[in-house]
């Protein structure tokens, strides 16, 4: 499931947007300002950030600047009442990918989110393109130009999660929490078992690879 972080200090608007995004099938986290958003980003893998420009403690532009300086590449969509070109330029220079003006048109917001996720290779249609391979979340399959590989649910969910966060390293505990759930009684070694099974099933695939980062965990990388 795609995870969206919403940074919005207006309580009424924030609640409205959280409910709307959840109805759209997204997993939504809500921060009341930029500092709280940074806390979420340190703890959770985020696919897209929606941030208000004007917020206490840390505003949206400074939040975005800090993220870009730290190497975060996730799409950033800014919400603002400002309509002057100079204000938009400042936002884009900070690293924003798109803008939506307040009062927010929910249909426009939905379309812009989908467009940003497409550019980031995260498809809300539950499919991810990995070079010549297609991961289909509904069918639990990996399709290539020559074959369709059916995967057990947990193996697929693990692969899909890594695919939505290309090149990001996750510890075994993080993968266990996000794929199996925070309340799971499964052990850490479950991750190693499923990674090994995936590598065996996908031995013929050269579009990508699951790499071990020694002392840290795993990441999925595209092959050139």
Place of tokens 């980062």: 213
Question: Looking at residues 105-131, what average pLDDT do you find?
Answer: 81
Query: What global pTM score does this model have?
Result: 0.58
Question: Looking at residues 184-213, what average pLDDT do you find?
Answer: 94
Q: CA 148 to CA 65: how far, in whole Å?
A: 42
Question: Looking at residues 189-205, what average pLDDT do you find?
Answer: 95
User: What band does 127 get if pLDDT is binned at 50, 70 and 90?
Assistant: confident
pLDDT, residue 197, reads 97
**Burial class of 43 by CB neighbour count within 10 A (0 to 12, 13 to 18, 19+):** exposed
pLDDT, residue 124, reads 53
CA distances for 95 relative to 9, 50, 63, 100, 120, angstroms: 21, 13, 10, 15, 15
Question: Looking at residues 218-222, what average pLDDT do you find?
Answer: 94
Q: Is 171 left (phi over 0), alpha (psi -120 to 50) or beta?
A: beta
pLDDT, residue 94, reads 79
> What are the pLDDT digits (tens) for 143-171?
998 999 999 999 999 999 898 788 888 99
pLDDT over threshold 80, residue 90: no
Which has the minimum average pLDDT: 58-67, 104-113, 117-126, 212-221? 117-126
Class of domain 127-222: mainly alpha
For the range 144-153, what are the long-range contacts, defined as Cβ-Cβ under 8 Å and sequence gap of 24 or more?
144/205, 144/207, 147/204, 149/201, 149/202, 149/205, 151/198, 151/201, 152/197
Question: Domain residue spans in the chain?
Answer: 3-119, 127-222
pLDDT over threshold 80, residue 201: yes
Q: CA 109 to CA 114: how far, in whole Å?
A: 9
User: What band does 88 get if pLDDT is binned at 50, 70 and 90?
Assistant: low
User: What band does 83 get if pLDDT is binned at 50, 70 and 90?
Assistant: low
Q: Which two tokens stand for residue 65?
A: 């600047």
CB atoms under 10 Å from CB of 224, counted, come to 4
pLDDT, residue 87, reads 64
Average pLDDT, the chain: 88
Beta pairing, strands 27-31 & 3-7: parallel
User: What band does 42 get if pLDDT is binned at 50, 70 and 90?
Assistant: confident
Which has the minimum average pLDDT: 26-40, 87-101, 147-161, 192-206? 87-101
Q: What CATH number is given for 3-119 in this structure?
A: 3.40.50.2300
Which residues in the chain belong to E strands, given as ranges?
3-7, 27-31, 48-52, 76-80, 98-101, 127-130, 133-136, 141-143, 148-150, 170-171, 208-213, 217-222
């Amino acid at each position: 499931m795609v995870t969206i972080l919403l940074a919005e200090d207006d309580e009424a608007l924030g609640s409205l947007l959280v409910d709307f995004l959840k109805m759209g099938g997204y997993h939504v986290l809500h921060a009341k300002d930029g500092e709280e958003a940074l806390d979420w980003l340190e703890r959770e893998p985020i696919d897209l950030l929606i941030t208000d420009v004007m917020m206490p403690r840390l505003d949206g532009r400074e939040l975005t600047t800090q993220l870009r300086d730290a190497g975060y590449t996730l799409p950033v969509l800014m919400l603002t009442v400002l309509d002057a070109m100079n204000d938009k330029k400042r936002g884009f220079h900070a690293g924003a990918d798109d803008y939506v003006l307040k009062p927010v048109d929910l249909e426009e917001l939905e379309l812009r989110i989908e467009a940003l996720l497409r550019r980031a290779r995260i498809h809300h249609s539950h499919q991810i393109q990995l070079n010549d391979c297609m991961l289909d979340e509904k069918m639990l399959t990996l399709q290539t130009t020559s074959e369709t590989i059916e995967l057990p649910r947990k193996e697929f969910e693990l692969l899909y999660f890594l695919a939505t966060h290309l090149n990001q390293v996750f510890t075994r505990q993080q993968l266990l929490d996000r794929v199996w759930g925070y309340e799971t009684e499964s052990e850490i070694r479950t991750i190693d078992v499923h990674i090994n099974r995936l590598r065996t099933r996908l031995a013929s695939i050269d579009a990508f690879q699951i790499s071990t980062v020694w002392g840290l965990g795993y990441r999925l990388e595209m092959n050139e």
